[in-house]
């Protein structure tokens, strides 16, 4: 079901609207400066390279996945293959049971959101703590991430102050720097006593068996090195062939996501701690999730949905996301990228409204660092919806009528005259009589005025003009 | 050799904003073009295409091909409809090599109005005059699919008496989006209100665009908000003297 009521509530909430619009606007500004030609002269060139690299990798994904597995094993780590999100959770729970783990620290990971990992861990008596500041905030608030990169994007520092006061039983603190220190105080203890650290992966590097993580807070570094066990959970599409390809991707990711040439920390993690190394876990696992991804591999066009490096730029630039926010999207991934991958991972019939929640403005494709043609995929998915799901009879009939009228010029010219007869007006129409205030027209007039139907269509005026000239 | 062009006025201009079509004709004739209006024309098929009804869109697109097959130039007062023809027809006829060949032969002859003026007619100053402070709204498909950004602005700068003031979010969608405007009416309306706030901040009394459907959305929202700002298609501004 389309969450039209919830969407209306989000739009009616002025404070929330302001928070979303301002936060996404700041991220837009930062990106704009970071990709400006004088700062990043080869930006467009790198976008094309990134697109080709991803295309190549996914065309040979079987090869790179195996290469990755072998290289992880050579460094003493282990790759776990999972078909479904449930299998990932089962693996983690099984390992936690074997190692008698009690406390799990997590660094930011969208993939683990696909398995509702925190809930699963808590159901089995484990404590799971998010250590990214934004993730920590929304975990305390009992919410899911609002945005791929900025999970608490919708919350102001005053919201955070109230949340901390309520949940941590501390005095109200509205300064973001002080709030950060409060979270840090709580989290340091968790890092030191955690049994397992779980991270995601920004990239999986096939030729070196490495997991690459980017972050700005240092929490991912602690998560992956302080506890005795590190588990990285990643979708199979995170693969890139060579370490040198990171030169392309890291630059694009930082610039597109947060306007940074590089994020503050970039970690290359390959295998457990080796002899003579000071830091690092005793055990190192990479859990690779399919979770619907291989469904997309078969189709050369749709495969590009898997190019995504989760920078969030399409969300920030999407005028629809900027109005409806992240929580009205039905699944983990919101915004334009969520609108294309959700129906493809799950099948088109679960949320058939999603590809329609776009004005097709194309801002997403313009800023996508790996050049995913999101509007085209939205259009293709809409075609899937009309052919593979049961659509309303009224809509089907309307488009049949449209095609009939638009191929019958005489009738087509007549349609406008009917409108002029029914609702004659010289000014923009604010309300309609009840018998006309139905269907799409009612929806239109609920938001804005309707143009007055002209007395004569262009084709009639043109005829008169020609007659007059002759 | 007389310069000949055919008008495809689009369904929206034909049925809702006929004055835009007349204005376009007037400007082109002023520049010495002989115009033809194929009367069998209707729509480009975009409403069905954008809603996922490909079979219906294909029928309408075929009709378009039939009507305009022999046209030398086709001038269109809309970036969105131009892009439908020059970019998306080939997706509709992907499996049909004969139609695909026709589409590829036709596409380079289809021009959005401002691009036709600047690139084919070679005109920037068309002798227009309008005393107004205006702001220009970039329509999404013209901007991002056809890469039309400067041509309308260059034409507007040559209009005597007209001052062009940029809004802070000229390139942000007005929220129309075809059936999106009614399927997600609340979102579309909210987007329109953001747009008109930006328009109002410029202090301009006039919004100009090259797509009548954007202007229908923007004027509808301005009128609902009771703001004394009017909208005109670029052709109407250029026809004025």
Q: Where are the alpha helices (DSSP H) in B85-184?
A: 89-92, 97-106, 113-115, 140-144, 150-157, 180-183
Pick from A402, A451, A461: CB nearest B56: A402
Judgement on whether residues B35 and B93 belong to the same structural domain of the protein: yes
pLDDT 10s digits, A15-71: 999 999 999 999 999 999 999 999 999 999 999 999 999 999 999 999 999 999 999
Q: Is A33 on the interface with B (CB under 8 A)?
A: no
Other beta carbons within 10 angstroms of residue B96's beta carbon come to 13
Q: Which residue has the tokens 């202090």?
A: B203
Q: Is the pLDDT of residue A415 over 80?
A: no
Other beta carbons within 10 angstroms of residue A42's beta carbon come to 12
Pick from B43, B183, B220: CB nearest A428: B220
pLDDT 10s digits, B161-189: 999 999 999 999 999 999 999 999 999 99
Judgement on whether residues B145 and B227 belong to the same structural domain of the protein: yes
Question: Closest Cα to residue A347, out of A389, A376, A380?
Answer: A389
Task: Check residue A450 and report its DSSP letter.
Answer: B
Which CATH fold topology does A4-294 show?
A: Rossmann fold (3.40.50)
Domain ranges of chain A: 4-294, 394-469
Last residue of a domain, one of B119, B145, B179: B119
A317 Cβ neighbours under 8 A, 6+ residues apart: A24, A28, A363, A364, A366, A367
Q: Is B198 on the interface with A (CB under 8 A)?
A: no
Judgement on whether residues B102 and B22 belong to the same structural domain of the protein: yes
Question: Closest Cα to residue A215, out of A334, A313, A288, A107?
Answer: A107
Last residue of a domain, one of B119, B136, B160: B119
Q: Which of A90-94, A159-163, A435-439 has the lowest mean pLDDT?
A: A435-439
The pLDDT of residue B1: 63
- Residue-by-residue DSSP string for A331-398: SSS-HHHHHHHHHHHH-TTTSTTGGGS-----HHHHH-TT---HHHHHHHHHHHHHHHS---HHHHHH
Report residue A392's pLDDT band, with 50, 70 and 90 as the boundaries.
confident
Q: How far is CA B3 from CA A108, B33, B199, B236, in A?
A: 63, 5, 38, 22
Judgement on whether residues B141 and B177 belong to the same structural domain of the protein: yes
Q: How is the beta sheet containing A239-240 ordered, strand by strand?
A: A239-240, A203-205, A210-215, A265-269
Judgement on whether residues B7 and B94 belong to the same structural domain of the protein: yes
What is the CATH number for B218?
3.40.50.11810
Handedness of CA A169, A172, A178, A179 (dihedral sign): positive
The rounded percent of chain B whose pLDDT value lies above 70 is 100
- Residue-by-residue DSSP string for B17-46: -HHHHHHHHHHHHHTTEEEE--TT----SH
Residue with more model confidence, B61 or A389: B61
Handedness of CA A438, A443, A444, A446 (dihedral sign): positive
Judgement on whether residues B23 and B107 belong to the same structural domain of the protein: yes
Q: Is A459 on the interface with B (CB under 8 A)?
A: yes
Last residue of a domain, one of B119, B137, B157: B119
- Say whether B17 and A419 touch across the interface (CB within 8 A): no
The rounded percent of chain A whose pLDDT value lies above 90 is 90
Chain A residues with CB-CB distance to B63 below 8 A: 406-407
Judgement on whether residues B138 and B225 belong to the same structural domain of the protein: yes
Cβ-based burial of A91 (10 A; exposed 0-12, middle 13-18, buried ≥19): middle
- The whole-angstrom distance between B18's CA and the closest CA on chain A is 4
Distance of alpha carbon A385 from the chain centroid:
21
Question: For B129, what's the count of Cα atoms within 13 Å in the CB-facing half-sphere?
Answer: 1
Pairing state between β A203-205 and A210-215: antiparallel
pLDDT 10s digits, B22-55: 999 999 999 999 999 999 999 999 999 999 999 9
Please provide residue B135's backbone torsions phi and psi, each rounded to the nearest 5 degrees. -125, 145
pLDDT 10s digits, A307-335: 999 999 999 999 999 999 999 999 999 99
- The whole-angstrom distance between B16's CA and the closest CA on chain A is 6
pLDDT 10s digits, A197-238: 999 999 999 999 999 999 999 999 999 999 999 999 999 999
Q: Is the pLDDT of residue B2 over 80?
A: no
The pLDDT of residue A416: 73
Domain count, chain B: 2
The rounded percent of chain A whose pLDDT value lies above 70 is 100
Task: Report d(CA B168, CA A213) in Å as an integer.
Answer: 36
Stretch B125-150: mean pLDDT = 98
ipTM above 0.95, yes or no: yes
Please give the residue range of the domain that contains residue B22.
3-119
Judgement on whether residues B18 and B115 belong to the same structural domain of the protein: yes
Task: Report d(CA B178, CA B51) in Å as an integer.
Answer: 9
- Name beta bridge partners: A198: A106, A231
**Mean pLDDT score of chain B:** 97
Judgement on whether residues B18 and B114 belong to the same structural domain of the protein: yes
Q: Is B59 on the interface with A (CB under 8 A)?
A: yes
Both tokens assigned to B111: 């021009």
Q: How far is CA A264 from CA A50, A56, A184, A201, A215, in A?
A: 22, 29, 17, 16, 6
Judgement on whether residues B130 and B107 belong to the same structural domain of the protein: no
Judgement on whether residues B153 and B73 belong to the same structural domain of the protein: no
- Sequence length of chain A is 470
Report residue A417's pLDDT band, with 50, 70 and 90 as the boundaries.
confident
């Amino acid at each position: 079901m389309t969450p039209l009521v919830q969407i209306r509530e989000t739009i009616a909430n002025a404070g929330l609207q302001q928070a979303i619009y301002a936060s996404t606007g700041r991220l837009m500004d930062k990106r704009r400066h970071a990709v400006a030609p004088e700062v990043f002269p080869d930006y467009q060139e790198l976008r094309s390279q990134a697109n080709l690299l991803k295309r190549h990798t996914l065309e040979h994904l079987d090869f790179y996945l195996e290469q990755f597995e072998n290289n992880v094993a050579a460094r003493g780590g282990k790759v776990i293959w999972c078909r479904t999100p449930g299998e990932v959770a089962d693996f983690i729970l099984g390992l936690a049971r074997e190692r008698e783990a009690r406390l799990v620290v997590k660094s930011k990971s969208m993939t683990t959101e696909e398995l509702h990992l925190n809930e699963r861990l808590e159901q089995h008596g484990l404590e799971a703590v998010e250590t990214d500041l934004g993730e920590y905030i929304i975990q305390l608030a009992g919410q899911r991430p609002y945005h791929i990169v900025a999970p608490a994007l919708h919350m102001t520092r005053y919201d955070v102050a109230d949340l901390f006061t309520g949940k941590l039983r501390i005095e109200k603190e509205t300064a973001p720097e002080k709030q950060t220190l409060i979270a840090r105080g709580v989290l340091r203890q968790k890092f030191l006593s955690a049994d397992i650290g779980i991270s995601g992966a920004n990239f999986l590097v096939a030729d070196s068996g490495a997991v690459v993580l980017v972050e700005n807070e240092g929490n991912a570094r602690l998560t992956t090195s302080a506890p005795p066990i590190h588990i990285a959970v990643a979708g199979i599409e995170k693969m890139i062939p060579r370490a040198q390809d990171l030169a392309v991707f890291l630059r694009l990711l930082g610039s597109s996501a947060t306007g940074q040439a590089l994020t503050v920390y970039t970690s290359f993690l390959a295998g457990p701690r080796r002899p003579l190394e000071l830091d690092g876990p005793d055990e190192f696992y990479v859990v690779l999730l399919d979770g619907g991804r291989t469904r997309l591999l078969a189709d050369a066009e749709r495969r590009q949905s898997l190019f995504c490096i989760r920078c969030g730029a399409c969300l920030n630039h999407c005028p629809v996301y900027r109005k409806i926010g992240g929580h009205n999207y039905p699944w983990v991934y919101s915004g334009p990228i969520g609108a294309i991958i959700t129906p493809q991972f799950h099948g088109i019939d679960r949320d058939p409204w999603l590809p329609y929640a776009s004005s097709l403005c194309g801002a997403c494709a313009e800023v996508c660092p790996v050049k995913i043609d999101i509007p085209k995929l939205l259009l293709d998915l809409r075609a899937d919806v009309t052919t593979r799901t049961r659509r309303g009879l009224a809509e089907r009939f309307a488009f049949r009528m449209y095609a009939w009228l638009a191929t019958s010029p005489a009738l087509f010219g007549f349609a406008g005259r009917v409108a002029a007869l029914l609702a004659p007006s010289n000014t923009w129409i604010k309300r309609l009589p009840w018998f006309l205030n139905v269907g799409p027209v009612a929806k239109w007039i609920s938001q804005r005025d309707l143009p007055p139907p002209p007395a004569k269509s262009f084709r009639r005026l043109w005829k008169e003009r020609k007659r007059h000239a002759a | 050799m007389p310069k000949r062009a055919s008008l495809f006025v689009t369904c929206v201009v034909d049925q809702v904003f006929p004055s835009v079509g007349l204005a376009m004709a007037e400007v082109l004739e002023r520049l010495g073009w002989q115009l033809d209006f194929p009367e069998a024309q209707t729509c480009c098929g975009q409403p069905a295409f954008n809603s996922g009804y490909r079979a219906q869109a294909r029928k309408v697109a075929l009709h378009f091909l039939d009507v305009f097959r022999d046209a030398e130039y086709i001038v269109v007062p809309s970036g969105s409809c131009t892009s439908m023809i020059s970019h998306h027809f080939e997706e509709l006829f992907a499996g049909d090599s004969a139609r695909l060949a026709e589409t590829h032969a036709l596409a380079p002859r289809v021009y959005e109005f401002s691009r036709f003026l600047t690139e084919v007619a070679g005109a920037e100053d068309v002798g227009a005059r309008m005393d107004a402070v205006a702001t220009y709204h970039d329509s999404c498909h013209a901007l991002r699919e056809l890469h039309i950004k400067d041509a309308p602005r260059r034409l507007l700068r040559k209009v005597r008496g007209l001052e062009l003031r940029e809004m802070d979010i000229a390139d942000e969608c007005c929220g129309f989006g075809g059936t999106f405007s009614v399927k997600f009416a609340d979102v579309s309306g909210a987007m329109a209100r953001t747009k008109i706030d930006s328009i109002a901040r410029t202090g301009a009394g006039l919004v100009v665009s090259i797509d009548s459907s954007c202007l229908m959305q923007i004027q509808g929202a301005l009128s609902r908000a009771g703001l004394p700002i009017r909208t005109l298609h670029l052709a109407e501004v250029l026809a004025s003297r």
